[in-house]
Amino acid sequence: MITYEKIKNNPAVKVYIEEANRALHALGYTEHGFAHVTKVATLAGDILEKLGHDAHTVDLAKIAGYMHDIGNIINRVDHSQSGAVMAFRILDKEGMDPLDLSRVVSAIGNHDEGTGMPVNEIAAALIIADKSDVRRSRVRNDDKSTFDIHDRVNYSVYSTDLDLDKDTKKLTLRLDVDTAYGSVMDFFEIFHTRMVMCKNAALTLGLSFGITINGQSVM
């Protein structure tokens, strides 16, 4: 059986993550390296585990989360589809069961806004985990005077929590924001499409989705 731990220790996957992150750094994007993909893998798995999915499905979600951004070594444009094809080759070569492989690559190929859809529970968990990773430590630009809106918004978020209430079936993204760097309006200017995607992904999992910023509900 192909496990998350085995994929984490796959030398080729490690190189692809490193090189994809390096390419995005050259293009001026925020961090997309091991910190990001590990957090996404953990969050995706946690979401499904809390909803009562079996351990195998949870592990598949972690694999999808860990590999979801490797397509950036080809190009940022359509990186979800490129990454899905790359992941297919790697996982097929490792001998992953065809059904498991189908679910993982489908999730990876559908994680990005614009073209992605929560086509299964793994894709839904991956979308939510990926889009909710907004935090100051992802900003790589050391010169605050040259921050673009993406830098400002990410830098403004000094605390992030994804809370799942199983009783009310509500998933809430809680952000603590320093508005000296980015306003609530800035956040929605660049994240509105992503948050709508999270809302649809939550619905796929039988949940509602909301956002609080500095303790105030904004969605």
Q: Where are the domains of the chain?
A: 4-217
Q: How much is the pLDDT for 114?
A: 85
What's the first-to-final CA gap in the chain, in angstroms? 41
Asked if residue 164 lies in contact with residue 188, where contact means CB atoms within 8 angstroms, the answer is no
Q: How much is the pLDDT for 108?
A: 98
Contacts of 98 (CB under 8 A, 6+ apart): none
Q: How much is the pLDDT for 219?
A: 82
Q: How much is the pLDDT for 119?
A: 98
Instruction: Provide the CATH number for the domain formed by 4-217 in this structure.
Output: 1.10.3210.10
Positions of the chain with pLDDT under 50: none
